[in-house]
Amino acid sequence: MSVEELGCCGAYCKTCPALKAKACRGCKLGYQDGARDISKARCKIKVCCIKKNYNSCADCDIYKSCRLIRELQQKNGYKYKKYRQALEFIRLHGYEKFLAIADKWKIQFGRYE
C-alpha cells in the first residue's frame, strides 16, 4: 500500500484500469523520484499538491475553500463525487484505513464497507 498510488484529487490509481493497461502513467507516479517533470504536468491540482509535498488534497489546510478542487468536484459525473468521498474519508479516517479499503477496488473508486 502506498499513498503515491493515490491521485491528489482522490482517484486511486493503483486499481485504475487505465494504469493497469499502461494507457496512463498515474497521477503522481514518477514525480517523487524525478522520472517525470512536474513543470510539464497539465493538472493544476497535481502541480499544487506535489509542490506543497502533500499526499493528496486531503492534507491541505484550505481544502474546504480551495477553488481548484471544488471546480473538479462540482463537475457532472459519478466519479467526481467518489473522488470527493475519498478525500473526505481520508480526512476523517487517515490514509492507512483508506488504503486498506481501496486496495480491494476494481476501478479508481469504490465502496467503503
77 within domain boundaries: yes
* Full pLDDT tens readout for the chain, 113 residues: 589 899 999 999 999 999 999 999 999 999 888 899 999 999 999 999 999 999 999 999 999 999 999 999 999 999 999 999 999 999 999 999 999 999 999 999 999 97
- 23: containing domain: 3-102
7 within domain boundaries: yes
Q: What's the 3-state SS for the chain?
A: CCHHHECCCCCEHHHCHHHHCCCCCCCCCCCCCCCCCHHHCCCHHHHHHHHCCCCCHHHCCCHHHCHHHHHHHCCCCHHHHHHHHHHHHHHHHCHHHHHHHHCCCCCCCCCCC
112 within domain boundaries: no
63 within domain boundaries: yes
Number of structural domains, the chain? 1
110 within domain boundaries: no
**pTM beyond cutoff 0.95:** no
109 within domain boundaries: no
